[in-house]
Amino acid sequence: MKKIIYRQATPEDAENIVQLSQFVSGEKNRWTVEYWKKYYYSYPTGTPFILVAETDDGKLVGHYSLLPVELSFGLGMMQSHVFAHPEYRGVNILAEFMNRGLEHAKSCSATVMLAFTQPRFAKVLRRLYGWKVAGHLNFHDYSQVNTAQYANYFRFVPDDAWYLWRFGDIQNNYIFPHSHYGKDNQQLWKNKQGNYIEASALGFDVINCWRPEQSNPTTPSDWGISFVIKPISNISEKLLDIRNWYIEIGDSDLHLQQL
């Protein structure tokens, strides 16, 4: 097995990163070279931490990143887009990524690391790296949503520059169509003002979104995402229970086509 070298990514790595991402996923996903560069090098909330793993002859075989995010209780580091070439998954690339990511988060005085992931990978993070599975975010349909009632929950608190980076404009409700197993949904990704939303007033029967009432601390649904946390400093135990969080779809690194 060839020696693995770890280093911070540069814009010149974009093409190889995109190719590796598509190879690992087994399909042509939404990443393009331009898209990857915009995602990381136009990010407005601090400087992303981007690592790549490559063999000593220059073949890129792994990718890892952390994005600084403003939370209602301090600075967090969101782990995102972690993948490795299948032929090199047995050489501890993930362990090296996780260790280096943790050290970087500590150096930035972050309170927590966090990630949105599939339930199976959430178990890996818990068993091998000491992450806590706060719970599972489940998609549900609602005829009305009152986001104002979650004002005192733990939450992401992005500024206007983040909204421009993520969505390209500033508005109150960010609602986008999304198809899941043949069903067309109108998903509420962000409600910027934190107010009452009536689906019928927007021309929809229902709106699909995440809400604390449907988040489950132990059991994922058939259509859900796990939310995991790695405490760095002493934190309240309440932070480790998904029911104390108000998280919107747009806070995560899902559905990147809207970037």
pLDDT per position as a tens digit, 148-207: 999 999 999 999 999 999 999 999 999 999 887 778 889 999 999 888 899 999 899 999
Q: What is the pTM of this model?
A: 0.92
Quick check: 132 pLDDT over 70? yes
**Domains observed in the chain:** 4-110 (3.40.630.30), 136-258 (no CATH)
Residue 256 has pLDDT above 60, yes or no: no
Backbone φ, ψ for residue 165 (5° rounding): -65, -45
CA distances from 226 to 38, 131, 141 (A): 26, 12, 19
Give the per-residue pLDDT at 184. Answer: 87
What pLDDT score does 218 carry?
Answer: 87
Burial (Cβ within 10 Å: 0-12, 13-18, ≥19) of residue 227: buried
Q: What is the largest CA-CA distance in the chain?
A: 60
- Within 10 A of 194 (CB to CB), how many other CB atoms are there? 14
Q: Are 144 and 196 in contact (CB under 8 A)?
A: yes
Average pLDDT, the chain: 91
Q: Identify the burial level of 256 via C-beta atoms within 10 angstroms of its C-beta, where 0-12 means exposed, 13-18 middle and 19 or more buried.
A: middle
Residues 5-24: tens digit of each pLDDT: 999 999 999 999 999 998 98
Position 237, amino acid: E
Confidence (pLDDT) at 179 = 81
pLDDT at residue 85 tops 90: yes
Coil/strand/helix, residue 73: coil
- Predicted local confidence at residue 257, as pLDDT: 46
| pLDDT score of 2 more than 50 | yes
Rounded to 5 degrees, what angle do the CA atoms 79, 83, 88 make?
A: 135
Closest CA to 147 of 205, 210, 196, 207: 196
End-to-end distance of the chain based on CA atoms, in angstroms? 38
Average pLDDT over residues 111-117: 97
Whole-number Å distance between alpha carbons of 188 and 180: 15
What percent of the chain is modeled with pLDDT above 90?
78
If pLDDT is split at 50, 70 and 90, which confidence band does 222 have? confident
Q: Across residues 230-236, what is the average pLDDT?
A: 93
**Beta-strand pair 140-142/173-180:** unpaired
User: Across residues 88-99, what is the average pLDDT?
Assistant: 88
- Overall average pLDDT of the 65-79 stretch: 97
Name residue 191's amino acid.
N
What Cα–Cα distance (Å) separates residue 108 from each residue in 7, 111, 112, 232? Answer: 18, 9, 11, 11
